[in-house]
């Protein structure tokens, strides 16, 4: 049996029927990781840890003790702490850092018998849209190895797409789960801000970051979110809101739901193949009982500029702690405290991280704070109000996930603005704090995956799952 081609929902019962063991699963996926080294999807492979966990879970299965995610083989982005395993954030400055605790999401997953098989490659400190800024080298897209897998959770997306893990965790600050999911032809969910604890996630931009799942299908994402969502007193941004059983909403159908199409997301700059694929998919939903209405999000044009002021400002503050004194890499041959700071940070951070620190520091400077940062916060409020108004007219929004399909490795590395525009359709969800999901809905003329994005009001992930599952079923039937 080729375990790597099965979703968790497909093989879970077979595992309980003892058609194979969790140890068999782990061994199979470790072999797949070894065979897929050319994708550079992993920074750390937790072979012994995973095999030991598998043996323990096999014993519990024989005893009739099973968790909600028994035997789920999971990859984890390398900015999420797993106790006693290196967390590098794909940066030289953290290349020797081993956290003494696990993130809340890891504790929740392992309590339900999921198995962490490795830590995945990413853009350094989650700053990028292509997974090329990693200290450990670029990640390659399994669909076309000459192309990027998207970023910053590119390693997680590549691992799932290549069958090296059943599912993965990523983090999404401006599209870093959804855009890689679109580029690699899988499903990726950014939950509502506060829905999932950020305790144990290395911060990029604290008011924007959110952990979420990537998988080959909608149901597996729903199963994972049921486990990782919920209030955490250790995260002061965690929302004390009840967590629904998301899998119950999957088969409710779409009859009676209203779906909005934002005019601003279908304007100039969108690849015509993507436009056609989205519109065809919307027509499919309409034929199956959904009502389609036009909506407007008038401040969308300001989103990229707004995001890159706020995100870089928060990054500047968050990355101040990496100074070579407390943890992480410290520069050699220094003769003063100031020299240690300068040299450690200069040698430890890559170019994109340095660029964003400088942009953020500039935006927060005394002479520019009102002109940039304060004004950006006001625009953020306007973007949030746009969504609030739109959701009075519809249950969910459908947009493209990205204006293009996966581009070639190296194509945009010397053009930061072109790279930043890859996130033009995803950053708004982070600015507004709303949930968003990307699901595959076709391919372009080169066979590269196209992603469709679903957006809903805060804590309305159930609606997204409901529409996404129905849409997935319709598309798979074609």
pLDDT digits (tens, 9 = 90+) for 77-131: 999 999 999 999 999 999 999 999 999 999 999 999 999 999 999 999 999 999 9
Q: Which of 18-22, 226-230, 379-383 has the lowest mean pLDDT?
A: 18-22
- Confidence band (pLDDT; 50, 70, 90) for 5? low
pLDDT of residue 17: 86
What are 235's two structure tokens? 């995260």
Residue positions annotated with a catalytic role: 77, 152, 176
Where do the domains of the chain lie, and which CATH numbers do they carry? Answer: 3-249 (3.90.1300.10)
What would the two tokens of residue 401 be?
A: 């996930």
Distance, in Å, from the CA atom of 223 to the CA atom of 225, rounded to the nearest integer, reads 6
Q: Is the separation of the CB atoms in 426 and 419 below 8 Å? A: no
pLDDT, one tens digit per residue, over 251-289 is 998 988 999 999 999 998 999 999 999 999 999 999 999
DSSP secondary-structure letter at 229? B
Q: Is it the case that residue 4 has pLDDT exceeding 90?
A: no
Which pLDDT score, from 0 to 100, does residue 477 have? Answer: 87
Per-residue pLDDT of 320-335, as tens digits, reads 999 888 888 999 988 9
CB 71 within 8 Å of CB 12: yes
Strand bridging mode 449-455 / 291-295: unpaired
Is the CB of residue 455 less than 8 Å from the CB of residue 236? no
Tell me the mean pLDDT in the region 448-473: 97
pLDDT confidence of residue 325: 87
Cα first-last separation, the chain: 26
Check: CB of residue 433 under 8 Å from CB of residue 205. no
* Calpha distance 35→102 (Å, rounded): 29
- Name the nearest CA neighbour of 182 among 430, 473, 453: 453
Pull the structure tokens for residue 169.
Answer: 């965790």
Contacts of residue 36, defined as CB under 8 A and 6 or more positions apart, other chains included, come to: 142, 162, 163, 164
Distance (Å, whole) CA 237 – CA 191: 13
Closest CA to 145 of 124, 135, 131: 131
What span, in angstroms and rounded, lies between the C-alpha atoms of 315 and 317? 5
pLDDT in tens, 155-185: 999 999 999 999 999 999 999 999 999 999 9
> Rounded to whole angstroms, how far apart are CA atoms 93 and 205?
18
The 8-class DSSP code of residue 414 comes to T
Report DSSP state, residue 91.
-
Q: How far apart are CA 74 and CA 311, in angstroms?
A: 28
d(CA 365, CA 358): 10
| 328 conformational bin, left if phi > 0, alpha if psi -120 to 50, beta if neither | left
DSSP 434: -
φ and ψ at residue 294, rounded to 5 degrees: -80, 140
pLDDT score at 3: 58
Dump pLDDT digits (tens) for 12-40: 988 888 889 999 999 999 999 999 999 99
Can you give the three-state secondary structure of the chain, one letter per residue? CCHHHCCHHHHHHHHHCCCCCHHHHHHHHHHHHHHCHHHCCEEEECHHHHHHHHHHHHHHHHCCCCCCCCCCEEEEECCECCCCCCCCCCCHHHCCCCCCCCCHHHHHHHHCCCEEEEEECCCHHHCCCCCCCCCCCCCCCCCCCCECCCCCCHHHHHHHHCCCCCEEEEECCCCCCHHHHHHHCCEEEECCCCCECCCCECCCCCCCCCEEEEECCHHHHHHHHHHHECCCCCCCCCCCCCCCCHHHHCCCCCCCCEEEEEHHHHCCCCCHHHHHHHHHHHHHHHHCCCEEEEECCCCHHHHHHHHHHHHHHHHHHHHHHCCCCCCCCCCCCCCCHHHHHHHHHHHHCCHHHHHHHHHHHHHHCCCCHHHHHHHHHHHHHHHHHHHHHHCCCCCEEEEECCCCCCCECCCCCCCHHHHHHHHCCCHHHHHHCCCEEEEEEEECCCCCEEEEEEECCCCCHHHHHHHHHHHHHHHHHC
Q: Among 307, 278, 299, 282, which Cα is nearest to 390's?
A: 299
Average pLDDT over residues 341-348: 93
């Amino acid at each position: 049996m080729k375990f790597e081609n099965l979703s968790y929902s497909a093989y879970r019962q077979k595992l309980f029927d003892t058609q194979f063991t969790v140890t068999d699963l782990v061994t199979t996926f470790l072999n797949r990781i070894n065979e897929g080294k050319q994708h550079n999807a992993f920074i750390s492979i937790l072979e012994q840890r995973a095999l030991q966990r598998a043996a323990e879970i096999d014993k519990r299965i024989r005893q009739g003790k099973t968790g909600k995610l028994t035997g789920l083989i999971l990859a984890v982005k390398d900015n999420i702490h797993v106790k006693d395993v290196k967390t590098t954030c794909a940066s030289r400055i953290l290349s020797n850092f081993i956290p003494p605790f696990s993130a809340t999401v890891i504790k929740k997953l392992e309590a339900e018998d999921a198995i962490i098989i490795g830590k995945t490659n990413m853009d350094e400190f989650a700053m990028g849209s292509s997974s090329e800024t990693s200290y450990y080298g670029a990640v390659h897209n399994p669909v076309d190895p000459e192309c990027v897998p998207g970023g910053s959770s590119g390693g997680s997306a590549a691992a799932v797409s290549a069958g090296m893990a059943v599912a993965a965790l990523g983090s999404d600050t401006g599209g870093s789960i959804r855009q890689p999911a679109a580029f690699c032809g899988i499903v990726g969910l950014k939950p509502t801000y506060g829905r999932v604890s950020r305790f144990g996630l290395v911060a990029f931009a604290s008011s924007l970051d959110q952990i979420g799942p990537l998988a080959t299908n909608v149901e597996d994402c729903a199963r994972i979110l049921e486990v990782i969502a919920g209030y955490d007193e250790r995260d002061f941004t965690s929302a004390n809101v009840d967590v629904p059983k998301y899998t119950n909403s999957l088969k409710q159908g779409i009859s009676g739901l209203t779906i909005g199409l934002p005019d601003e997301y279908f304007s100039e700059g969108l690849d015509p193949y993507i436009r056609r694929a989205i519109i065809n998919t919307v027509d499919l939903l309409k034929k199956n009982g959904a009502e389609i209405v036009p909506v407007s999000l008038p401040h969308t044009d300001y989103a990229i500029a707004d995001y890159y002021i706020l995100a870089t400002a928060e990054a500047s503050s968050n990355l101040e702690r990496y100074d070579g004194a407390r943890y992480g890499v410290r520069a050699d041959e220094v003769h003063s405290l100031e020299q240690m700071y300068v040299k450690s940070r200069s040698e430890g951070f890559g170019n994109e991280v340095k660029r964003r620190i400088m942009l953020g520091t500039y935006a927060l400077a005394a002479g520019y704070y009102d002109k940039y940062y304060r004004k950006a916060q006001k625009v953020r409020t306007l973007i949030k109000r746009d969504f609030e108004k739109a959701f009075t007219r519809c249950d969910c929004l459908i947009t493209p996930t990205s204006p293009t399909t996966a581009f070639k490795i190296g194509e945009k590395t010397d053009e930061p603005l072109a790279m930043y525009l890859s996130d033009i359709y995803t950053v708004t969800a982070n600015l507004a704090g709303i949930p968003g999901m990307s699901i595959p809905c076709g391919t372009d003329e080169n066979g590269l995956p196209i992603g469709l994005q679903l957006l809903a009001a805060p804590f309305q992930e159930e609606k997204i799952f409901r529409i996404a599952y129905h849409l997935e079923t319709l598309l798979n039937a074609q």
